[in-house]
Amino acid sequence: MESSKETGCQAPEGPILCINNCGFFGSAATMNMCSKCHKDIILKQEQEKLVASSIENIVNGGSGSNWKEPVVAVADVQSGPVELKVVPTQASPDSSLSQSSEMKAKGGPNKCSTCLKRVGLTGFNCRCGNLFCAVHRYSDKHDCPFDYRTAARDAIAKANPVVKAEKLDKI
């Protein structure tokens, strides 16, 4: 016992229970809380700061004029978890059209554009923008409207610019 007094090191007297009485052990590094309670407290503080700053931006008219859809934050501090909800106040017709087109692209199964056979992950995307099975993947098999000849000419012209030297003076 005397050696610990000489070195100045003290062993903890015993395990410390979490101050939230959750039944787990806490530590001095986490303010005498267990790791889960400590993480919850930190998360709650960060969300309260976020709510306060967003409310402050809305009240002060910060960059709120540039927003397409203002954010309304709802926080219930007394209950356990803090919930943030985003509520659009104005729905523009352009955003609803883009959302519906995204739903169509993701919703339907992948089918060959020619024979309507399901292709799954093995489908081939053509330059014309359609999806095809292994039989119809070649441009001559599905009557592809894409102009490969013009595309190749443009690629060659872009890759090999015309270099024209100045004329030399005759001696």
Q: Where are the domains of the chain?
A: 14-55, 109-160
CATH number belonging to the domain at 109-160, selected among 4.10.1110.10, 3.40.1620.10, 3.20.20.70, 3.40.630.10: 4.10.1110.10
> Which range has highest mean pLDDT (2-16, 102-116, 124-138, 153-167)?
124-138
Give me the pLDDT at residue 60, please.
78
Tens digits of residue pLDDT in 96-151: 444 444 434 444 578 998 999 999 888 999 999 899 999 999 988 888 899 999 99
Mean residue pLDDT of the chain comes to 74
With bands split at pLDDT 50, 70 and 90, how would you rate the model's confidence at 170? confident
* pTM of the predicted model over 0.75: no
pLDDT in tens, 40-99: 999 999 999 988 888 888 877 655 444 444 444 444 444 444 444 444 444 444 444 444
**Whole-angstrom distance, CA of residue 143 vs CA of residue 141:** 6
CB 72 within 8 A of CB 57: no
Give the span between the Cα atoms of 133 and 98, in whole angstroms: 28
CA distance 84 to 162: 60
